Structure 1
Amino acid sequence: MNNKKLKITAIVAIMAIVIGIVSFGVFKMGNASKNENKEKKEFTKITFCLDWTPNTNHTGLFVAKGKGYFEEEGLEVEFVQPPEDGALLMCSSGQAQFAIDAQDTFAAALDGDKDYGVTAISAILQHNTSGIISRKGDGIVSPAGLEGKTYSTWESPIEMAMIKNVMEEENADFDKLKLIPNTITDEPAALAAKQTDAIWVFYGWGGINADIEKVDCDFFFFRDINPVFDYCTPVIFGNNEFMESNPEITKAFLRACKKGYEYAVENPDDAADILIKEDSTNSLQGADKLVHESQKWISKEYISDAKSWGYIDSSRWDRFYKWLYDNKLTKNNLSKTGYTNEYLSE
């Protein structure tokens, strides 16, 4: 009787071991299957053309990539540098589905005979943070101080009209401003070396860099002189054909971007580290202090007074384009054209 019980016990034990082995095998196969499915998950490939080498305007994009926000939306995003003819044309041709440009430079594309087939779909910054930087003590604390000074220009008609407008706002003579070609890559260094007296920069990079390089400078924003110049820059654009065929992918792309910029608002230091790490051009190597200080300043500008990141203020957009038309800088009144908020999430 005891031998029989021992045999039954042994059989039960063996069966338990067998069941355990089989179960473990099934469990492993299940996990392997899940991992295989994950690896086989198909991502929609997106090419995004930047407007310049990576900088803190782009941080939310690099955060979205580095923290996997694009992947969560089923997207595989590649950032590329702009060609000589600009990011907008790359987006227009379909080589990139999305790109960065500015409202002022976009005007020429909208006003021409050719349909570029692109639309602005989100504002990276809520306000125009550009203005004029100059050596401290030279008296260029406002546009009136430009009279009799040397200004480095890109020779853009809109640029010239804006400079003339803000000078005339203060009864200064634009014709007494000496213009030289802008070939500057380091604005504070150029000012310190007296290569020029005044340069158009975006404060979040050029202005902050002056502090980093310990060059004492004065600065004024265009928007403070004339509110019409508080237009949208920089802006994310999309290829119309792609967006019309893929509205959900476009919305998913902007959701990931929004999440990246919101993270940068709340975590500027960590976001700066991610930007440096994710920059495949290595152009930010050795510029850690500039990136971090710039990020602290610009993170407050991503959403600012808007209801949410990315929102394009139609009144400011239209007001600037009407000004261009009124001043004969465009053939057509471009108000109410070229932008949409329909792909943005609340």
Structure 2
Amino acid sequence: MRYGKITSVLSAAAAAAMLLSSAALASGTEVATEKEQNFGDAGKITFCLDWTPNTNHTGIFVAQEKGYYKDAGLDVEVVQPPENGAVQMCASGQAQFAVDAQDTITGAWTQENPFPVTAVAAILQHNTSGIMSRKGEGLDRPKGLEGHTYSTWDLPTEQAMMKYVVEKDGGDFDKVKMIPNDITDEPAALAARQTDAIWVFYGWGYLNSEVEGVPCDFFYFKDIESSFDYYTPVIIANNDFLKDHADAAKAFLKATGKGYEYAVEHPDEAAQILIDSDNTGSLKGSEELVKKSQAYMADQYIADAASWGVINADRWNAFYKWLYDNKLIEKDLTGTGFTNDYLPQ
């Protein structure tokens, strides 16, 4: 049972519906409410996640559970990413929407034949990632990494960012010992001294250190360099779908936004919806972390933006300008790859 309505409200709604119906008959036109929209095949949407369900995705599952997609005339299926990734699935048209991040999607747009996808909404307003280390060992600032081990994915952009923040803080990046990152439980790895520093997202990796009782330090990349305050994660869409079915795309993002707005106002309930919606089993045993993370994320989905989903052009462009200026990409991507046109205006 979703919501109760008192009799007077029902009566008023019925009367209004009769008036609308009469007016439509008199004018020979059809009057459709948001719930009555019929997008045909375009209303059957596949949404591909970037990872197993986590608090980045909560608003999507809330929108499903609360019926926001159904009310908008949409039939949305949420799927896990294939082996070759969510971006490829979206670009091929197998999914109309997917989750990725501004940094990791860069290669899709710099190749000779760019992938036909566009970022259409920011899930979080700010980059919440940074470096986590054991508490009190001096790694609460980038220079402190000198003489310590850092677990790397061996990615050019990742290592360039690490080098930049260490040197900006007056450190020598050559003195940072790089070791392969094959870690699945970051706090446990730090506690066992398998590594000294790991790149994590505050809302999951760092908060997990509190759940596991491992005292840790943390610094955000965005606090060291403003151009590193890029968008991660974002929702991307297939370009042909946007062109051919703009109304369905707008309806999808409006309903998704309602899901995230609900998560902002009701983080504990939203966390439980996420837990109950997870059909991968990945959240089993992590209920405390999910609720702790959701409380943090409630302040991150909209943060200082006017509304959920908005992408600030200056911040989007600043990161790509940094990549281009530092010769990490050969194509200048500033001013490309995103739009706010499909968000509620």
TM-score, structure 2 as length reference? 0.87
* CA distance in 2 between partners of 1:249 and 1:280 (Å): 26
The aligned residue for residue 343 of structure 2 is 344
Contact 2:60–2:259 (CA<8 Å) still a contact in 1? yes
Q: Which moved more, 1:71-80 or 1:298-307?
A: 71-80
* CA distance in 2 between partners of 1:175 and 1:207 (Å): 26
* CA distance in 2 between partners of 1:256 and 1:298 (Å): 19
- Aligned positions, number: 308
Contact 2:39–2:74 (CA<8 Å) still a contact in 1? no
* CA distance in 1 between partners of 2:281 and 2:68 (Å): 22
Distance 1:301 1:41, change over 3 A: closer
The aligned residue for residue 281 of structure 1 is 280
The aligned residue for residue 68 of structure 1 is 67
* CA distance in 2 between partners of 1:171 and 1:266 (Å): 42
* CA distance in 2 between partners of 1:229 and 1:53 (Å): 25
The aligned residue for residue 22 of structure 1 is none
The aligned residue for residue 191 of structure 1 is 190
The aligned residue for residue 161 of structure 2 is 162
Corresponding letter in the other structure for 1:180: I
The aligned residue for residue 130 of structure 1 is 129
1:96-245 equivalences in 2 (<5 Å): 96-245=95-244
Corresponding letter in the other structure for 1:261: Y
Sequence identity of aligned pairs in percent?
Answer: 61
- Give the secondary-structure state (helix, strand or coil) at the position aligned to 2:98: strand
How far did 1:84 drift? Answer: 2.1
* CA distance in 2 between partners of 1:49 and 1:42 (Å): 20
Gaps of 5+ in 1: 1-37
Per-residue CA deviations over 1:239-275 (Å, capped at 9, x if unaligned) read 0011111000000000011000000000000000000
The aligned residue for residue 296 of structure 1 is 295
Could you say which structure has the higher helix fraction? 1
Contact 2:228–2:319 (CA<8 Å) still a contact in 1? yes
Corresponding letter in the other structure for 1:108: G
* CA distance in 2 between partners of 1:74 and 1:42 (Å): 9
- Give the secondary-structure state (helix, strand or coil) at the position aligned to 1:223: coil
Corresponding letter in the other structure for 2:100: D
Per-residue CA deviations over 1:100-132 (Å, capped at 9, x if unaligned) read 111011111111112210000000000000000
- Give the secondary-structure state (helix, strand or coil) at the position aligned to 2:57: helix
- Superposed CA RMSD in Å reads 1.4
The aligned residue for residue 18 of structure 1 is none
How far did 1:137 drift? Answer: 2.1
TM-score, structure 1 as length reference? 0.87
How far did 1:41 drift? Answer: 10
Contact 2:39–2:248 (CA<8 Å) still a contact in 1? no
Higher-Rg structure is: 1
The aligned residue for residue 9 of structure 2 is none
